[in-house]
Structure 1
Amino acid sequence: MQTYACGHINPDSDSIVSAISLSYLKTELGEACTPARQGEISPETEFILKTFGLEKPLLKNDFSGDNLYITDYSDLAQAPHNLKETNILGIVDHHKLGDITTSTPLECWIRPVGCTNTIVKEMYDHYKIDIPKNIAGAMMLAILSDTVLFKSPTCTKADTKAVKELAHIAGVEDFKKLGMEMFLVKSAVKGASPRTLLLRDFKDFDMGGHKIGIGQLEVVDLKVFDEMKEALFADMKAYKHEGHRHTVMLLLTDIMIEGSQFLVVSDDESKIENAFNTKLVNHEMWVEGVLSRKKQVIPVMEKQF
């Protein structure tokens, strides 16, 4: 029976890097653990891995008969196939508590911080395990990604402290400059298919018995989407139908002016309008100050459903 650490489907940088960082920690503690991923990596994550010379985690969508540490989620909708046949050893996460249950006790590190890697950093400190320079650098960028360079309302003092300490370990003098380089890579959307963009950071949620899918693309200038919206809407409609979803939303988030353009395909658009007290015009609306799907979108959506 092998042991793995793995994040959610359509993995973002936090999911990928936390699988790597947690696996190294567990292995150092005497429990051989292999990092895995449930999907292809994004250009941003590829930038992080290449910058610090790290390999992609193993691509794996079924852990039947294996041990598993879950990172960056606790919802069944984001879990691998046949989870009931998997021995879950622990959960490390920074989201709301989801609906995954176990038949035996497990290790849980769940904290209201901006990034799972902030929690993993605290685990290293707790166990007094040194973090390798390359893993520290990747963790640093993952935190900067999830906290949108500290601009997100999810960002805490623990996140900023972790970034500074990880930057020191990694030997990075100007972490903000490197973080902006990462976001410029993240903003490069030309040439990518609508489906690739929709699923780059996409999660399904169960809200009142309805399947709600919400994706997010964070860029430094929303103009990159000017000629792509028609194709994005067409693919959102197709993906909604394919998955029998009530709603598919795509947040186009501008990290510079700090807000999000919502693209919405829904059986009931009034739910979204009521949630944000804003009217949709041609299935779009701008919501000032929205940077975090986790803290500013999911909670208000769940109240409506």
Structure 2
Amino acid sequence: MTKILTFGHQNPDTDTITSALVMQDLQQQAGKDVEAVRLGEINGETAFALEQFKVAAPRLIDKIDGEQVILVDHNEFQQSAPGIETATVLMVVDHHRISNFETSAPLYYRAEPVGCTATILNKMYKENNLEVKPEIAGLMLSAIISDTLLFKSPTCTEEDIQAAEELEQIAGINKESYGLDMLKAGASTADKSAEELLNIDAKSFSMGEKEVRVAQVNTVDIDEVFARQEEIENAINAETAQNGYDLFVLVVTDIINSDSKVLALGQHQAAVEKAFNVALDKNTAILKGVVSRKKQVVPQLTDVLS
């Protein structure tokens, strides 16, 4: 039997890493030979969760070469592994928009408008009468906390909250206190280079004819990040020149106060001003109440650029 690989998007966040591990467990319980892998380095927040529940990080890969795969937490090929076009995609479980995705054969595709992939995976355990072990429950709970910013994000649904309450009991932890500790573990920026900051959680999007890169950094101190604005802009310009982005948007989110500050560079800065009804000052603007890239940034930019 050929091993099936399961993985999330490049520049993996907590939902992507843990959902791959959860999918591995779910499929193995169903008798499938599935291995969780990853497409990038583990960030501080995810490392905290893996350590808390004593689960090893997935193996790192750099490309796909014709394997059978299960995609979690993404579907857009430009966010996936190099060589994904050669893969046989057997399944997708995701909670994002569907774009730039096509297969030559039928597959199981499940996308739901919830705050986190783990919320969908939790349903799949129940639908298939499979056991949710405490460490798996802890990983899914960590993903929901991360993607919903401890239930403060507008992407958070009642289904996410219900799932978190169920998983909290199985994992045997307090979701509020654990969640705050986990978010803070990933919020330090002082020890990261500008290039690392831009790739903690970054995704590329096709918006009309434009290629847009949207990076997000969660922090407890926005000023700590923007004290290095010149260094960060130089890194953005280098990435833009290398990859041909039409617009690069960095969203720095205050996880305590639930606001963001945006830094925009590229040919289409005006799209940011129009999308958010702001005026950029030295390439930046405050976005009050904006915390979700998926719901409060990407759709608005897409509407303007498309």
Same-fold call, TM cutoff 0.5? yes
Letter in 1 for 2:245: R
Query: In the TM superposition, what is the alpha-carbon distance from 1:221 to its structure 2 partner?
Result: 2.6
Contact 1:6 1:37 in 2 (8 A): yes
Give 1:302's aligned residue: 302
CA distance in 1, matches of 2:85, 2:280: 41
Letter in 1 for 2:45: E
Give 2:121's aligned residue: 120
Give 2:218's aligned residue: 218
CA distance in 2, matches of 1:109, 1:226: 39
CA distance in 2, matches of 1:281, 1:226: 13
Query: In the TM superposition, what is the alpha-carbon distance from 1:224 to its structure 2 partner?
Result: 2.3
CA distance in 1, matches of 2:209, 2:226: 34
Tell me, what secondary structure is at the counterpart of 1:5? strand
Taking only aligned residues, the RMSD between alpha carbons, in angstroms, comes to: 1.0
CA distance in 2, matches of 1:203, 1:217: 12
**1:93-140 deviation per Cα after TM superposition (whole angstroms, max 9, x unaligned):** 000112211111111121000000111111111101011111111110
**1:16-64 deviation per Cα after TM superposition (whole angstroms, max 9, x unaligned):** 0000001100010011110010111111111111111011101113232
**1:161-189 deviation per Cα after TM superposition (whole angstroms, max 9, x unaligned):** 111111111111x2111110011111111
Letter in 2 for 1:88: V
**1:262 paired to 2:270:** no
Structure 2 unaligned residues grouped into runs of 5+: none
Give 2:180's aligned residue: 180
1:38-187 map, 5 Å: 38-172=39-173, 174-187=174-187
Tell me, what secondary structure is at the counterpart of 1:8? coil
Tell me, what secondary structure is at the counterpart of 2:139? helix
Aligned-residue sequence identity (percent) comes to 34
Tell me, what secondary structure is at the counterpart of 2:192? coil
Give 1:30's aligned residue: 31
CA distance in 1, matches of 2:267, 2:64: 35
Tell me, what secondary structure is at the counterpart of 1:9? coil
Query: In the TM superposition, what is the alpha-carbon distance from 1:226 to its structure 2 partner?
Result: 4.1
**1:128-166 deviation per Cα after TM superposition (whole angstroms, max 9, x unaligned):** 101111111111011100000000000001101111111
Structure 1 unaligned residues grouped into runs of 5+: none
CA distance in 2, matches of 1:37, 1:268: 32
Q: TM-score, normalised by structure 1?
A: 0.97
53-62 or 141-150, which moves further after superposition? 53-62
CA distance in 2, matches of 1:243, 1:84: 19
**1:190-241 deviation per Cα after TM superposition (whole angstroms, max 9, x unaligned):** 1111101100000001111211000001112323224222211111111111
After superposing on structure 2, the runs of 4+ consecutive aligned residues of structure 1 that deviate more than 6 Å are none
